Structure 1
Amino acid sequence: MDQRVTTTDVRRRIPRTDAVLGDPRLIEAAQRLGSGAVKAAVRQAQERARAGAIAPDGVADTAVALLPRTAGGLRPVINATGVVLHTNLGRASLSAAARRAVREAAGPTDIELDLRTGVRARRGHAALAALRERVPSGAAAHVVNNGAAALVLVATAIAAGKEIVISRGEMVEIGDGFRLPDLLVSTGARLREVGTTNRTSVADYAAVIGPETAFVLKVHPSNFRVTGFTRAAGTGELAALGVPVVVDIGSGLLAPHPLLPDEPDAETRLRAGASLVTASGDKLLGGPQCGLLLGQEELVRTVSRHPLARALRVDKLTLAALEATLTGPETPTAVALAAGPAGLRHRAERLASALAADGIDVRAVESAASVGGGGAPGVTLPSAALSLPERYAAALRTGPVPVVGRLEAGRCLLDLRAVAREDDERLAEAVRSVGGPAATDPAAGAVTDPAAEG
C-alpha cells in the first residue's frame, strides 16, 4: 500500500480538539489551569500523533501528561548545582512554614487592620516585630522589596543633594550589570570616594567629612575577596566620626554564624555603632525576596515615611513568608549550610548504588559547594555529588522534573548539598527517566555551567 495513503488514514483517526477537550480530566484541568493551557497541551499531543510518536487514541492521555502543574509559568526545579543560594534559581527556598503562611495569606488578611479594635494598624507590624526580636540591637525596622531598594531608599531619604562617603574598594557591581555607584547617584546623592581599592583607613574618611556629608557608607563586597596588602576601617571606627554610618551587609545574616566567621551580620554591626544596616531577605536569612532595614528609630522613621517607601513596599505574601521565616523552624538554607560532608557522601553513595543497579553510568564523588548569592565569597563547602555522563545535563534540565546540575571535567555533577533529603528519590527518578548508555546525544551537554551565575 502507498505509504502516503497510510499516513493520511492515520491522521484522520486523530480526535478533534473539541472531542479531546471533553475528557473529564481536561475539563477539570481547564477549571484549575485555564482553557489556554489545556488547549495548548491538546495541540501538542495532536502534533505528536501526526508525527507518529503516539497512537491517535493516546492523544487525551498525552495531553493530560503535558499539562503544567500550575497556571504560572515558573517551574519548580531541583537545585543540584552545589550553589546553595543560586540567583538564577530564585536564591533561598522557603521553609514549609513560610509556604503555608503564603497560602494562608493569599486571601483577605488583617495586613493593615487591628481586628481587636477595628481600626487601621501599621502594615506588616507582626513581621517587623519578629525582625526586631531576632536583631535586638535594632531599635526599629522596615522592609522593602529587595536589598538594592533598601539602600536606594536610605540614600534618597537621607542623602539627596548631599554627599555619601564611600571607600573606592567598596564600589561594587551587585549583579546583572547593576553597579552600586550608579544606583546611589540615581537618588540625587553625590559620592565622595576615599582611599584606594585595597587600603582605606579611618583617616581617609575623616579628611573629607563636612557639612555636606549625609552619611558614611560601608559595603560588604559581593562575590569577590580582596586579599594581601589590604586595610579597611571597621564600623566602630567610622561610628566615632560623628556622622551616621550605614552598613550594607548584603547577604542578610542577622547574627554570627559559626561556619561563616568572616560574613558580616546585622546584630554585630549595630552593636559596633552602625546607624542603619541594610540587607537582603532571600539570601542567608532563607526567606522571601525583600530588603531589610534595621537601626536607629529616628532614621528608620525618616526612611519609612519618605514617599519612595510607598513605591518599594512589599505585599502581604512577602510579609507572611518573612514572619514565618523569622519565627518558624530551621530554613532549607540553614539545613543546607549545616549539612555534614559524611552525611552527604552517604546519600550520594546510596543513590549511586541504586542507579548503577539500573545500568546507569554513575558514581559518587567528592564535590565543592558554595554559598552563592553574594554571600561568603571564597568559602568552600565540602560536599558530595553524583557524577554522570555529560549528556545528562541538558536532558535533566528539560525533563518532567527539571534538575539543574553543573558540568565539570566532561561530566554532569549533581551536588547534593542544596538538595533536600526528601527529594533524593525524585532526583533518582529524574536520572532514571533519561535512560542508560543507548540514549546518546553528543550535543546535549553543551551548556554554560549554571553554577557560574550563582
Structure 2
Amino acid sequence: MDQRPVPGRTAEDATGSTAAPGDPARRPDITDARRRIPRTDALLRDPRLSAAVDRLGPQRVKAAVHQAQERARTGGIPPEQVPQTALSLLPGTAGGLRPVINATGVLLHTNLGRAPLSAAARQAVREAAGPTDVELDLTTGVRARRGRSALAALHERVPAAGAVHVVNNGAAALVLAATALAAGKEIVVSRGEMVEIGDGFRLPDLLVSTGARLREVGTTNRTTAADYAAVIGPDTGFVLKVHPSNFRITGFTRSAEPADLAGLGVPVVVDIGSGLLAPHPALPGEPDADSQLRAGAALVTASGDKLLGGPQCGLLLGRKDLVHALARHPLARALRVDKLTLAALEATLTGPSTPTALALTADPDRLAARAGRLAATLAAYGIDVRAVESAATVGGGGAPGTTLTSAALSLPEPYAAALRTGRVPVVGRLEAGRCLLDLRAVPEEDDVRLAEAVRSVAQGPAGPSAPAGTEG
C-alpha cells in the first residue's frame, strides 16, 4: 500500500507525533502529563482512599477522585498530587453537618446547635449507637421502662420533683402538658408572657393547636395573683407561668410567682425554658426547676440543650400523678426521645462538667491571658490582630440582659467571611468594623486549631481582601 505523506502533513503528523513549526524535535505538552494521571481503580486501591471508602462510602470518594483527576487534566495540579488532592476534598464524616469553632461569644448559639456535648456524652452516644438495653431488663429478659437510668439520673438532680419524663424538645414538653391537662379547657396565662419562642413560632399558636383555649389575664407589664384568681373556674385546665427568657420588661412591672398561685385549686405549670435545674451563682435572676417546684409549681417544663448543657430534649418535672398522666398519654409516644438522646442526657447529668458549665464559669483573667498569647503568636506572622476585652452572653433564651466578661481576638472585618468558609470553620461576630473571635465559648484545647485557622486565612493566595482603612 502506498504510504506517501499527505500534502501539508509531516511524517510525524502521520504517526501521531507533534513537532513545533520549524523544529523537528518532539515537544512535551499537557498530553504527556495526562498520561501520568492515575486511573480511578488504582487510586481506590490507595490505602488512604480505601479507608475513606469504608468511612464515607464509595460514591463520595469516587466523586472526589474524579474531581482531583479533572484538576490534573486541566493542569491545575501535577498528576502526582491527585491522591492527596482527592483526600483533601473529602469531608470528615458522611453527614452534611460541619463542626465549627464557636467564637461568637454566645454560649448557647441556636444556629450552632446550642449546647455542645461533653466528652462523656459523646462517648455515651457512640456506645449507644449499636444494640442497647434501652427497653430490656437483661437480668429478667423482659421489657423494662424505656430510658430508666437516664430518668433516674434526672430525678436525682431535682429532689423536689415527684416524677420526671423526657420528650424530644422544650416546646414538645409544653404541648404534651397542654394536651393532657387542658384539651377542651382553658389555660390561664398573663398577657405579658405570651411570647414568641423563635423562628416565628408563637406560644399562643402552639397552645391553641392542642385544643386548649387561652384565657389572658393582666396587662403586658403588670399581672397580679388576683387577676388569675378572678377567672379560675370549672373550665380551667391549669395556670401557665412562662419565663420571658429572650427579653426583659423593666420599669413599672409586677408578676405573680408560683407561691402566689399554688392555692388556686388548679395545677400551676411553669415553663422555665433554659433548663437550669438548680440555682446558679452566676445567674441569680434565672429561674431553676428545683426552686420553682419548692415554691408551689405542680409541673415544670424546660429544655435539655440549654443551660443543662445536654442534648436537645424537653424535660417534664413535677407532681407524680401529673407526670405519670403525661407519660401515659397517647401523644407521649409520638414525642419520645431516641436511645442516643437518652444516653447523652444521662452522661450529661452524671458526668463531669459540661462545656456550657465551664464556659459559664470561665475566669476572665485566664481568658485575657489566652487572648494575649494567641494575639502575640499570630502577630509574629504579620497578621493584624490584637487582644481586646469582650462581653459574652448566655444565648439560647437564657439569662437575657446578663453579660459575661470575656476576651477576644480582633481582626480586620474581611476575616469573618473567610474564617466561616475555611477548612476549619470559625464563626465570630462583627463589631465596630472588626471581626471579633470571643474565647468564652472556645475550649482552651481548641486554641491551636483557632490559631491555625486564622493563619490559614492570612496565608491564603492573597489573604482576606481588606478594604482600605481596616488594617491597623
1:439 matched to which residue of 2?
463
Alignment-mate amino acid for residue 166 of structure 1:
V
- Matches of 2:454 and 2:94, distance apart in 1: 26
Following superposition, the deviation at residue 71 of structure 1 comes to 1.1
- Matches of 2:74 and 2:172, distance apart in 1: 51
The answer on whether the counterparts of 1:144 and 1:313 sit within 8 Å (CA) in structure 2 is yes
More moved, 143-152 vs 71-80: 71-80
- For the residue of structure 1 that corresponds to 2:59, the secondary structure is helix
Pairing partner for 1:154 from 177, 193, 203? 177
1:299 matched to which residue of 2?
322
Following superposition, the deviation at residue 222 of structure 1 comes to 2.6
2:373 matched to which residue of 1?
350
Following superposition, the deviation at residue 408 of structure 1 comes to 1.1
Following superposition, the deviation at residue 75 of structure 1 comes to 1.1
- For the residue of structure 2 that corresponds to 1:117, the secondary structure is coil
Question: Is it true that 1:35 corresponds to 2:52 in the alignment?
Answer: no
- Matches of 1:108 and 1:440, distance apart in 2: 48
1:446 matched to which residue of 2?
none
> Aligned residues, how many?
441
Question: Is it true that 1:378 corresponds to 2:401 in the alignment?
Answer: yes
The answer on whether the counterparts of 1:172 and 1:222 sit within 8 Å (CA) in structure 2 is no
The answer on whether the counterparts of 2:40 and 2:66 sit within 8 Å (CA) in structure 1 is yes
- Matches of 1:281 and 1:399, distance apart in 2: 31
- Matches of 2:332 and 2:428, distance apart in 1: 39
| Residues 349-407 of structure 1 deviation map (CA, whole Å, 9 limit, x = unaligned) | 01100111111111000011100000001101110000111121111111111111111
Question: Is it true that 1:284 corresponds to 2:275 in the alignment?
Answer: no
- For the residue of structure 1 that corresponds to 2:389, the secondary structure is strand
- Matches of 1:172 and 1:339, distance apart in 2: 31
Label 1:104 to 1:83 Cα distance change in 2 as closer, same or farther (>3 A): same
1:401 matched to which residue of 2?
424
> Where does the alignment leave 5 or more consecutive residues of structure 2 unmatched?
1-19, 22-27, 468-472
- For the residue of structure 2 that corresponds to 1:380, the secondary structure is strand
- Matches of 2:404 and 2:358, distance apart in 1: 13
- Matches of 2:464 and 2:280, distance apart in 1: 45
- Matches of 2:165 and 2:426, distance apart in 1: 36
Question: Is it true that 1:270 corresponds to 2:293 in the alignment?
Answer: yes
Question: Is it true that 1:338 corresponds to 2:361 in the alignment?
Answer: yes
TM-score normalised by L of structure 1: 0.94
- For the residue of structure 1 that corresponds to 2:131, the secondary structure is coil
Following superposition, the deviation at residue 24 of structure 1 comes to 2.3
Pairing partner for 2:255 from 232, 236, 255? 232
- For the residue of structure 1 that corresponds to 2:401, the secondary structure is coil
- Matches of 1:55 and 1:156, distance apart in 2: 65
Pairing partner for 1:261 from 284, 303, 309? 284
- Matches of 1:378 and 1:48, distance apart in 2: 52
| Residues 95-120 of structure 1 deviation map (CA, whole Å, 9 limit, x = unaligned) | 11111111111111111111122221
Following superposition, the deviation at residue 11 of structure 1 comes to 4.9
| Residues 224-246 of structure 1 deviation map (CA, whole Å, 9 limit, x = unaligned) | 11111111111100112111000
Pairing partner for 2:388 from 365, 373, 382? 365
Alignment-mate amino acid for residue 347 of structure 1:
R
Higher Cα Rg: structure 1 or 2? 2
1:54 matched to which residue of 2?
77
1:103-114 → structure 2 map (5 Å cutoff): 103-114=126-137
> Where does the alignment leave 5 or more consecutive residues of structure 1 unmatched?
444-454
2:105 matched to which residue of 1?
82
1:83-102 → structure 2 map (5 Å cutoff): 83-102=106-125
- Matches of 2:326 and 2:130, distance apart in 1: 29
- Matches of 2:149 and 2:459, distance apart in 1: 53
The answer on whether the counterparts of 1:361 and 1:436 sit within 8 Å (CA) in structure 2 is no
1:311 matched to which residue of 2?
334
The answer on whether the counterparts of 1:276 and 1:296 sit within 8 Å (CA) in structure 2 is yes
1:111-130 → structure 2 map (5 Å cutoff): 111-130=134-153
Structure 1 stretches of 4+ moved >4 Å: 5-13
- Matches of 2:340 and 2:82, distance apart in 1: 39
- For the residue of structure 2 that corresponds to 1:329, the secondary structure is coil
TM-score normalised by L of structure 2: 0.91
Question: Is it true that 1:329 corresponds to 2:352 in the alignment?
Answer: yes
- Matches of 2:35 and 2:194, distance apart in 1: 66
- Matches of 1:44 and 1:189, distance apart in 2: 56
Label 1:278 to 1:25 Cα distance change in 2 as closer, same or farther (>3 A): same
The answer on whether the counterparts of 2:415 and 2:464 sit within 8 Å (CA) in structure 1 is no
Label 1:362 to 1:442 Cα distance change in 2 as closer, same or farther (>3 A): closer
The answer on whether the counterparts of 1:360 and 1:436 sit within 8 Å (CA) in structure 2 is no
- Matches of 1:72 and 1:275, distance apart in 2: 41
Question: Is it true that 1:418 corresponds to 2:451 in the alignment?
Answer: no
1:430 matched to which residue of 2?
453
Alignment-mate amino acid for residue 377 of structure 1:
P
Alignment-mate amino acid for residue 114 of structure 2:
R
